[in-house]
C-alpha cells in the first residue's frame, strides 16, 4: 500500500474511535484497526453511565469530575437517541458517610460542571416517596436524588466509528496489528485480517496506541518505545436480573467496605447491578464474573432491598477489564479514572499511547490527543472543537424528541408495535428509516429471528455497522440476546454466514459503506 495516512490508530474502543472521528473531521486521513469487533473489549462492559463520578470527589479528582460533568450534557445533546437522563437515589446509611458530607458532595456535583439541562439534586423522604418502597421498611428514611445519564455504550462506539467513516476514515475490524517499525520518519504497521488471513502494511505519519488493556503489548511489537507509564488492570463485573421495581429511578448504594454499587433499570424488563473493583492479572480477553463477585453484588444490594437478590436470580453476567493508569493506589477502587498520555517520538515520528479514561470523557480525550499530535499532523488545527456540536449518526434531534420519533415510526410504519418502534428509535434515531425503507408490513423486513430482529436490520448492521457475527448483533449492536433463545441466535449466525459481504482489496472492508 503506497498511501501514507496522516494517522493510524490501533484499537476500536471508545478512545480509538473518538480520536478517529475527531481527526477525520479535521481533514486528516485516518486508518483504524481493531483485532475483534468494535467495543468488544472494555468499552462494551461498562456500567452504561455518562456521569461525573460522584464517588471520585472522595479522592479529590476535582478536575476529572468537572470535565466529566461538562461532557455529560454535551454527549446527551449529540446522541439523545442512545443517551438519556437518569435520576439516582442515594439512601443515607447511618454509620457510613454522614448526611452533611453527601449534601456537600452533591452540591459540588450540581455546581462545578455547568449543569444546564439536567434537574438538580433534591432531598427525599424515603418513608413517603415511591422510591423508598423497594427498600427495607423503616431502615432508610432519608435520601437524596440526583441526575446523571444512561448510555448504550457499545452503540456509542459504533456510531462514533460510523461518523468517522462517513468523514473518510478507514475502519477495519477483525484486523490485528502486528509488527510496528519506523522507516524514514514514517510508521510502518503490519496488519492481518483475522477472518481472511490477508496481511498488509499500513504507513502513517503518526500512530495512536489505543489498545486499552493491551496498550503495553502494542508497544512491545517492535515500536522501539520503552513505556514509562504502567497500566493497572482492574476487573469490573455486573449482573442482570429481572426487573426489581416499577419506577424509573436508579439507586446508588453505599457498602461498608467503602465501595458503591449501582442498581439501574435496564432494557425495560431487567435491572442492571454493578460494579466490582478488583485487580486483574490474567488475559483481558478471558475475564469473567466470578461466583464471588456475583455473591458480593447480590449481598450488597440485598442489604438495601426489601426483596433480596440471590445468585439464582441472575439471568446474565458480564465483566470487563479497565486499563487504568497505575498511580500506585493501594486499592483498585482508589486508582485514578483519569486518562494519561505518553508521547514518544523515536527518530522523530510520534507514537501516542493512552492509559485510562472513561466513556464520559472520551470526546475530550480525543481533542487533547490531537492537540498533543498537532505539530505532526497537517490538518490538526482545522475545525478544532467540532465534535461537541455535531450529532452522531441518528442523533440529529432534540434531547426531548426521542419519544416523538418513536411515535412517528409507528405512524409511518403501523405494523410496528410501540415497543418495537421504541427500540428502533433508541438504537438508530433518525437513521431507522434507512433500512425500514418503504416496508408496508413486517414481512417486508425479511426473515424474523425473534425479539423483533429482522433480516433487513441485520443486513443494515452488516453493511453499515461492521457486524460479522450473531454475537456482534445481539450483545453489542443491541441487547436482544437477553430475549432470544440459543436456537434463535444459532439461526441468526447461519443466516449471517450465508450473507457475508465479499472481500474487498487487501483487507476485509466490513461496514465500510452506508
Residue with the three cell numbers 460479522:
468
Taking Cα atoms as reference points, which of 48, 47, 44 lies closest to residue 259? 47
Residue 242, beta-bridge partner list = 270
Contact 87, 160 (CB under 8 A): no
Q: Quick: pLDDT tens for 171-224.
A: 999 999 999 999 889 999 999 999 999 999 999 999 999 999 999 888 887 666
The predicted pLDDT at position 378 comes to 73
Region 489-495 average pLDDT: 97
Residues with Cβ < 8 Å from 103, sequence gap 6 or more? 144
Rounded Cα distance between 451 and 474, Å, is 10
Burial class (CB in 10 A: 0-12, 13-18, 19+), 486: exposed
Q: How far is CA 339 from CA 67, 210, 227, in A?
A: 12, 12, 15
Taking Cα atoms as reference points, which of 143, 204, 159, 162 lies closest to residue 3? 204
Contact 365, 208 (CB under 8 A): no
Contact 139, 127 (CB under 8 A): no
Enumerate the domain spans of the chain: 4-42+154-230+336-376, 232-324, 402-498
Q: Cβ of 281: how many Cβ atoms within 10 Å? A: 6
Q: Cβ of 103: how many Cβ atoms within 10 Å? A: 14
Q: Which fold has domain 232-324?
A: D-Amino Acid Oxidase; Chain A, domain 2 (3.30.9)
The predicted pLDDT at position 510 comes to 38
Backbone φ and ψ of 466, nearest 5°: 65, 20
Three cell numbers written together for 13: 474502543
Lowest mean pLDDT across 9-23, 325-339, 355-369, 459-473 = 325-339
Residue with the three cell numbers 496488519:
191
**pLDDT beyond 90 at 55:** no
**pLDDT beyond 70 at 505:** no
The predicted pLDDT at position 383 comes to 60
**pLDDT beyond 50 at 508:** no
Confidence label for 338 from pLDDT (cuts 50, 70 and 90): confident
Taking Cα atoms as reference points, which of 75, 33, 7, 64 lies closest to residue 324? 64
Taking Cα atoms as reference points, which of 258, 347, 362, 244 lies closest to residue 305? 244
R_g of the chain, CA atoms, integer Å? 23
First to last CA, the chain: 24
Region 122-151 average pLDDT: 96
The predicted pLDDT at position 222 comes to 65
Contact 441, 429 (CB under 8 A): no
- Write a three-state SS string for 375-398: HHCCCCCCCCCCCCCCCCCCCCCC
Q: Which CATH number fits domain 4-42+154-230+336-376: 1.10.1200.10, 3.40.50.150, 3.40.50.300, 3.50.50.60?
A: 3.50.50.60
Region 89-109 average pLDDT: 91
Lowest mean pLDDT across 15-24, 91-100, 188-197, 480-489 = 91-100
Residues with Cβ < 8 Å from 341, sequence gap 6 or more? 352, 353, 354, 355, 368, 369, 372
Contact 77, 133 (CB under 8 A): no
Domain 402-498 carries which CATH code?
Answer: 1.10.8.870
The predicted pLDDT at position 512 comes to 41
Rounded Cα distance between 169 and 159, Å, is 13
Cα dihedral 183→184→185→190 (10° resolution): -20
231 conformational bin, left if phi > 0, alpha if psi -120 to 50, beta if neither: beta
Rounded Cα distance between 414 and 437, Å, is 13
Taking Cα atoms as reference points, which of 464, 462, 412 lies closest to residue 436? 412
Domains 4-42+154-230+336-376 and 402-498 share a fold: no
Q: Quick: pLDDT tens for 219-240.
A: 887 666 777 778 899 999 999 9
Q: How far is CA 310 from CA 162, 303, 307, in A?
A: 40, 12, 10
What's the half-sphere exposure (Cβ side, CA atoms, 13 Å) at 229? 21
**pLDDT beyond 60 at 308:** yes
To the nearest whole percent, how much of the chain has pLDDT over 70?
95
Three cell numbers written together for 189: 504497521
492-502 burial, b at 16+ Cβ within 10 Å, e below that, comes to bbebbeeeebe
**Which string of DSSP letters, residue by residue, matches 270-298?**
EEEEE---EE--S-GGG----HHHHHHHH
Taking Cα atoms as reference points, which of 52, 175, 170 lies closest to residue 108? 52
Backbone φ and ψ of 186, nearest 5°: -125, 135
Confidence label for 96 from pLDDT (cuts 50, 70 and 90): confident
Residue with the three cell numbers 472522595:
58
Burial class (CB in 10 A: 0-12, 13-18, 19+), 4: middle
Three cell numbers written together for 110: 450540581
* Cα four-point dihedral sign 468, 472, 478, 484: positive
Rounded Cα distance between 484 and 493, Å, is 13
Three cell numbers written together for 14: 471508545
Lowest mean pLDDT across 39-43, 121-125, 156-160, 334-338 = 334-338
Contact 349, 252 (CB under 8 A): no
Contact 164, 55 (CB under 8 A): no
Q: Quick: pLDDT tens for 353-396.
A: 999 999 999 999 999 999 999 999 876 555 668 999 999 999 99
Amino acid at each position: 500500500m503506497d498511501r501514507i495516512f496522516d494517522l493510524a490508530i490501533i484499537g476500536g474502543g471508545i478512545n480509538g474511535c473518538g480520536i478517529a472521528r475527531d481527526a477525520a473531521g479535521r481533514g486528516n486521513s485516518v486508518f483504524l484497526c481493531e483485532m475483534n469487533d468494535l467495543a468488544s473489549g472494555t468499552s462494551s462492559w461498562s456500567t452504561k453511565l455518562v456521569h461525573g463520578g460522584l464517588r471520585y470527589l472522595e479522592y479529590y479528582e476535582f478536575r476529572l469530575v468537572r470535565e466529566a460533568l461538562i461532557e455529560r450534557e454535551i454527549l446527551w445533546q449529540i446522541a439523545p437517541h442512545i443517551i438519556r437522563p437518569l435520576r439516582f437515589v442515594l439512601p443515607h446509611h447511618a454509620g457510613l458517610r454522614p448526611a452533611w458530607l453527601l449534601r456537600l458532595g452533591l452540591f459540588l456535583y450540581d455546581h462545578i460542571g455547568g449543569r444546564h439541562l439536567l434537574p438538580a439534586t433534591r432531598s427525599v423522604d424515603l418513608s413517603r416517596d415511591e422510591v423508598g418502597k423497594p427498600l427495607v421498611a423503616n431502615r432508610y428514611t432519608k435520601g437524596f436524588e440526583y441526575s446523571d445519564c444512561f448510555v448504550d455504550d457499545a452503540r456509542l462506539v459504533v456510531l462514533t466509528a460510523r461518523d468517522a467513516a462517513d468523514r473518510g476514515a478507514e475502519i477495519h475490524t477483525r484486523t490485528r496489528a502486528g509488527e510496528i517499525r519506523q522507516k524514514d520518519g514514517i510508521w510502518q504497521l503490519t496488519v492481518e485480517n483475522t477472518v481472511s488471513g490477508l496481511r498488509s502494511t499500513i504507513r502513517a505519519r503518526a500512530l495512536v496506541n489505543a489498545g486499552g488493556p493491551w496498550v503495553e503489548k502494542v508497544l512491545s511489537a517492535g515500536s522501539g518505545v520503552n513505556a514509562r507509564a504502567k497500566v493497572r488492570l482492574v476487573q469490573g463485573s455486573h449482573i442482570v436480573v429481572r426487573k426489581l421495581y416499577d419506577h424509573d429511578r436508579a439507586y446508588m448504594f453505599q457498602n461498608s467496605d467503602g465501595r458503591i454499587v449501582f442498581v439501574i433499570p435496564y432494557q425495560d424488563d431487567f435491572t442492571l447491578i454493578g460494579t466490582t473493583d478488583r485487580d486483574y492479572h490474567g488475559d483481558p480477553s478471558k475475564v469473567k464474573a466470578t461466583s464471588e463477585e456475583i455473591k458480593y453484588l447480590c449481598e450488597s444490594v440485598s442489604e438495601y432491598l426489601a426483596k433480596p437478590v440471590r445468585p439464582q436470580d441472575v439471568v446474565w453476567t458480564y465483566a470487563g477489564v479497565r486499563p487504568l493508569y497505575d498511580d500506585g493506589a493501594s486499592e483498585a477502587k482508589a486508582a485514578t479514572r483519569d486518562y494519561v498520555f505518553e508521547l514518544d517520538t523515536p527518530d522523530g515520528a510520534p507514537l501516542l499511547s493512552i492509559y485510562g479514561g472513561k466513556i464520559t470523557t472520551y470526546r475530550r480525550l480525543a481533542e487533547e490527543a490531537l492537540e498533543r499530535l498537532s505539530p505532526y499532523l497537517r490538518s490538526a488545527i482545522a475545525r478544532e472543537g467540532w465534535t461537541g456540536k455535531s450529532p452522531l449518526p441518528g442523533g440529529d434531534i432534540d434531547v426531548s424528541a426521542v419519544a416523538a420519533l418513536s411515535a412517528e415510526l409507528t405512524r409511518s410504519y403501523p405494523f410496528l408495535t410501540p415497543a418495537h418502534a421504541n427500540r428502533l428509535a433508541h438504537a438508530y434515531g433518525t437513521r431507522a428509516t434507512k433500512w425500514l425503507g418503504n416496508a408496508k408490513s413486517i414481512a417486508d423486513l425479511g426473515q424474523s429471528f425473534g425479539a423483533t430482529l429482522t433480516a433487513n436490520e441485520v443486513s443494515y448492521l452488516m453493511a453499515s455497522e461492521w457486524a460479522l457475527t450473531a454475537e456482534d448483533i445481539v450483545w453489542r449492536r443491541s441487547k436482544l440476546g437477553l430475549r432470544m433463545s440459543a436456537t434463535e441466535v444459532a439461526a441468526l449466525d447461519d443466516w449471517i454466514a450465508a450473507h457475508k459481504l465479499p472481500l474487498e482489496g487487501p483487507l476485509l472492508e466490513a461496514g465500510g459503506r452506508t
